[in-house]
Amino acid sequence: MKRIKTPLTREGIKNLKAGENVLLSGTIYTARDQAHKRFAEAIKKGAKLPFGLKGEVIYYCGPTNTPKGKVIGSCGPTTSSRMDKFTPALLKKGLTAMIGKGGRSEEVIKAVRKYGAVYFLAPAGCGALIAEKVKSAKIVAYKDLGPEAVRKLEVKDFPLVVGIDMKGASVYGKK
């Protein structure tokens, strides 16, 4: 199985093909509905985002609270399509990969191809299994959003499937 490490480069992801299994290690950032809304507002105002997007990976995830003695609670992917309307603007700013579950809109697929990015699927509904791949977790922005705060995660061998590759091919086929 292919292993990839963050930060991602276009060179590093260009050979990934839709449907392929990969293991991802390195830094990823959680962000879901409300965080995306704030990213969009920040971009509109020309304000700084909580982290530079270039080469980075966003994981659509809002973990449970962290049980005592654990790095993180259950932390599987949430439905990606809710983030579709915000995604092209983030890809334009250099975001290189997204991790979630389910299909994406035509606009997202186009933007993935245009800006040279990749969309991964995580094992959906397997938050306990994924938690074992997370080595550290820290809130880095929007703490007031609770589970929806932006967290910086260090992951090791996060099992993923390439959902949409850089050429715009989707594992779910054409819509």
Q: How far apart are CA 20 and CA 84, in angstroms?
A: 22
Please indicate whether residue 74 is annotated as part of the active site. no
Minimum Å gap between C-beta 23 and other proteins is 14
Residues 20-49 that bind other proteins (CB under 8 A): 34
Hey, how many other C-beta atoms are within 10 angstroms of the C-beta on 123? Answer: 15
Please, which residue, 57 or 101, has the CB nearer to other proteins?
101
Stretch that binds other proteins, among 49-57, 87-95, 110-118, 140-148 (CB under 8 A): 140-148
Residues 77-96 close enough to bind other proteins by CB under 8 A: 78-81
The stretch near other proteins (CB under 8 A) out of 40-48, 70-78, 90-98, 106-114 is: 70-78
Closer CB to other proteins, 131 or 166, in the complex: 131
Decide if residue 121 touches other proteins (CB under 8 A). yes
Q: How far apart are CA 94 and CA 104, in angstroms?
A: 18
Can you read off the two tokens belonging to residue 76? 């599987």
61 touching other proteins, by CB under 8 A: yes
> What is the torsional sign of CA 128, 150, 136, 66?
negative
| Token pair for 96 | 């290189």
| Euclidean distance between CA atoms 137 and 30, whole angstroms | 10
Task: Please tell me which residue in 36, 38, 101, 151 is annotated as part of the active site.
Answer: 36
**Bridge partners of residue 155, in order along the sequence:** 26, 134
Please tell me whether residue 171 binds other proteins under the rule CB under 8 A.
Answer: yes
Query: Among all residues, which ones are annotated catalytic?
Result: 36
